[in-house]
Structure 1
Amino acid sequence: MWRDETGRSLADYPHPSVAVDVALLTVVDGALHVALHRRAGHAAGELALPGTFVRIDETLAAAALRALREHLGVSGRSPEQLRVFDDPARDDRGRVLAVAHVDLVDAEMLPTGTETAAVDRCPTLAFDHDAMVAAAAEHVRARHRRGPDPAGLLGRAFTLAELQGLHEAVLGGPLPKDTFRRHVLAHLEPTGEVRTGTVGKPARLYRRTAPGVRTNAHGHQPSRRGTH
């Protein structure tokens, strides 16, 4: 067994417990929401993010997936690590470090009856989960400011109106149509198809370009002329 220069092993030092909590975000009724559950046991009945203590033989990623599965019935996701919440007083049971995770999913992935709350009008949550929700929402919003539909919620192809509706829901307010389209068209290309069955003329469909590929204001890649 390893011991330091004072003769103490790891077991001789006080150590915190480690937990994971997952802010699973989605869009409901045109607004960014977070999935919640009501706790059993400690803090019974309080709304909280799905979370769990990390087992000794378990990775953080595996613990996050287990928390989603056990508390929300959601599987098949890959939550992203957000940040560590380490206030010594964050949990009245003892010293607990919480590694917050975030993911953005289509609302249809949530089991029927899943309780959600709008992130901008979130009720008081257990522990410091309010701060986790705020950090997760800002993380997802920052990604949507940088590029179109980064989580792929709209699928393979979408109209510009559908894309703007998604971004307005995530960002929490209306966006100027012309400015928004100029920004996103640099990251889109037309599929050559249209959406029919809507009011007005058929709407052109777009898809996201590969990372690093930029297009012009019409959603077309600029032509390259060779030099001699």
Structure 2
Amino acid sequence: MAPRTRSLDSYPRPGITVDLAILTVTDADTDPVLRLLVQDRDSPAGRALPGGFVRERATIAETTLDVLSRKVGITLDVSVTPRLLRLFDDPDRDDRSWVMSAAHAVSLPEAALAGAKGDLVPVLPDGSLEGESGLLFDHDEIVSAAVADVRERYEFRGRSEGVAPDPDGFLGAPFTLHQLRKVHEAVVGDEMHKDNFNRRMKDGLRPVMRGGTPVASSGLRGRPATLYRRRQAGRRSATDE
């Protein structure tokens, strides 16, 4: 007698959500602060990251875009790719039901969040959120994972491989080395040695040139300083007419 096979419908199925840790750096060119988007919820009541359930026959990617559009009120630029942090699957993470979360981090420049629904809350040096007493579900854990993820890309100390200048594009070009360092410090949550930082960044930058002469900043505090752009892959020319 052939062994009986169980129908897939006989297995219990968890609900799947997509929760988004949306990161930005405000005032990136003057007084940068790493912030994360937090929203108010009604049911259950409290503070949480924007998120939504994966609907029938929808993909994770489609749900991510739906959450950004419907819950946050923004459209993601095609150049931005949400980063999957991991699957948060503690069976007790949601008191309402058995729910797993495909948590993502999304890094955006401040301008891309104009009109976004929610509050941009400062991230403290220890990775927690300023003034937040505890987010719903396990969203504090998602925040910690997202902050650790972005900081790993911005911190160069103790690493043998190079770190790209502002890899998530929080700072608009052109910029000075001072502005670039301040953004990295805002993300990492600690000060960096100026000379070491400048030396490590130079290979990934090209000066803005006009008529064969480097262009200096104007209208900024302090002495004029050379303006830079991120070096494009495979491009070695330092000319920007």
2:82 counterpart residue number:
79
Residue of structure 2 equivalent to 1:209? 231
Task: Please give the TM-score of this superposition, normalised by the length of structure 2.
Answer: 0.80
How far did 1:66 drift? 1.2
- Higher mean alpha-carbon deviation, 108-117 vs 147-156, is at 108-117
1:31/1:172 contact within 8 Å kept? no
Could you say which residue in structure 1 is the equivalent of 2:122?
118
1:140-219 alignment, distance < 5 Å: 140-145=150-155, 146-192=163-209, 193-211=215-233
**Which residue number corresponds to residue 27 of structure 1?**
25
Provide the residue aligned with 1:223 in structure 2.
none
Q: Please give the secondary structure, in 2, of the residue aligned with 1:195.
A: coil
**Residue number in structure 1 paired with 2:146:** 136
Q: Normalised by the size of structure 1, how large is the TM-score?
A: 0.84
Higher deviation after alignment, 26-35 or 110-119: 110-119
Q: Which moved more, 1:122-131 or 1:21-30?
A: 21-30
* SS of residue in 2 equivalent to 1:91: coil
Following the alignment from structure 1 to structure 2, what is the Cα–Cα distance between the partners of residues 211 and 71? Answer: 35
Q: Is the 8 A contact 2:216 2:225 kept in 1?
A: yes
Please name the residue that 1:225 is paired with. Answer: none
Q: Aligned pair count? A: 211
1:39 partner SS: strand
The list of structure 1 runs, each at least 4 consecutive aligned residues, that deviate by more than 4 angstroms after superposition, is none
Alpha-carbon shift at residue 135 of structure 1 (Å) = 0.5
State the alpha-carbon separation in 1 of the partners of residues 3 and 104 from structure 2.
37
* Secondary structure, aligned partner of 2:145: helix
Give the match for residue 53 of structure 1.
Answer: 53
Q: Measure, in 2, the Cα distance between the counterparts of 1:31 and 1:169.
A: 5
Amino acid at match of 2:75: S
* Residue 102 (structure 2) aligned to one of 75, 88, 99: 99
Structure 1: runs of 5+ lacking an equivalent: 221-228
Instruction: Give the superposition deviation at 1:31.
Output: 2.4
The code of the aligned residue for 1:71 comes to K
Task: Give the CA deviation at 1:102.
Answer: 0.5
Shift of 1:33: 1.2
Query: Could you tell me whether the CA contact under 8 Å between 2:68 and 2:75 is conserved in 1?
Result: yes
Corresponding residue for 1:6? 4
Identical amino acids, percent of aligned pairs: 40
CA shift, 1:11, in A, is 0.6
- Does the C-alpha gap of structure 1 residues 112 and 68 become closer, same or farther in structure 2, counting only changes over 3 Å? closer
